[in-house]
Amino acid sequence: MANSFFQFKQFRIEQGNCGMKVTTEGCLFGALRLTPSTFNPKRILDIGTGTGLLALMKAQQTDAFIDAVEIDETAFKQAKINFESSPWSNRLSGFHTDLLEFEPNHLYDHIICNPPFFQDNQLGSNRQKNQAIHNSSLTFEDLATSISRLLNSEKGIASVIYPEYEMSLFSQKMQERGFHVVADIRVLNQMSKPVFRKVKSFSLIKPELEITETLIIKEENGAYTDQFTYLLKDYYLHL
């Protein structure tokens, strides 16, 4: 059974009431450099925030004001508690709403999303968990359309994480809307294992240089790689 909380160096995630708990890939996604080093977002949107993990990691990394959208009421309340108990509560705002009905009065410089991706034929008995992990609650089309609507077209960057096949489908939706790839990162559990996740960043502005990288989480002996340790050392208590 997953812990009811996850303690980081600068904040704590209460997660007992969330369908999706803190995961290694979620933490990795939050820690990765997904934009050019000169990029300094003023407003960030976290789509499907769940526990609030990504929003809190971005709050630690930046001085941006961060909005977080969550459709599930129980998860929203959990994220709100996590935001309010963090050192950055004055820069974090949660919204309990369907993304398609979200109408902010500003656009975002950076949009981040760790979206649900399991297919409907894999539904389990837990409704809340189904909503958190199955893509019927947020389709590729809906996510791409929402990013197009909410992103600052002059300088905005959107970053998402999917399994490799699902990323190819989502990338096609973004390409159809005129987006270019800014970053393309392959994530492997171990060097000998297949690609576990793909992380991509997209922008309507074609980049001068695309960020490409292969990131390996663990050595063959099970220890974290130097890559992973470097990325997570500011977050994990034991690194």
Task: For residue range 17-27, list pLDDT tens digits in order.
Answer: 787 789 999 99
**pTM of the full structure:** 0.90
Whose tokens are 């389990």? That residue is: 124
Residue 156 and residue 44 in contact, taking contact as beta carbons nearer than 8 Å? no
Q: How many CA atoms lie within 13 Å of 183's alpha carbon, on the beta-carbon side?
A: 23
- Tell me the per-residue pLDDT of 149-170, one tens digit each, with 9 for 90 and over: 999 999 999 999 999 999 999 9
Using the structure block, give the residue that is written with the tokens 């997904």: 34
Q: Does the pLDDT of residue 2 top 90, yes or no?
A: no
Domain-embedded: residue 132: no
12 within some domain: no
Q: For residue 79, what is the domain's CATH number?
A: 3.40.50.150
Give residue-wise pLDDT tens across range 132-144: 443 456 999 999 9
Does 56 map to a domain?
no
User: Whole-number mean pLDDT of the chain?
Assistant: 90
Establish if 216 belongs to a structural domain. Answer: yes
Taking the C-alpha atoms of residue 141 and residue 213, their distance in angstroms, rounded to an integer, is 27
Range of the structural domain that residue 96 is part of: 20-34+66-117+139-238
49 in a structural domain: no
Number of domains in the chain: 1
Per residue in 176-205, pLDDT tens? 999 999 999 999 999 999 999 999 999 999
Please indicate, yes or no, if residue 54 is contained in any of the structural domains.
Answer: no
How far is 49 from 67, CA to CA, in rounded Å?
9
The residues near 238 (Cβ < 8 Å, ≥ 6 apart) are none
Query: Is 134 inside a domain boundary?
Result: no
Question: pLDDT by residue (tens digit) across 84-130?
Answer: 999 999 999 999 999 999 999 999 999 999 998 655 545 444 444 44
Helix, strand, coil percentages (3-state) for the chain, rounded to 5, are 35, 25, 40
Q: Is 85 among the domain residues?
A: yes
Confidence of residue 16 (pLDDT cuts 50, 70, 90): confident
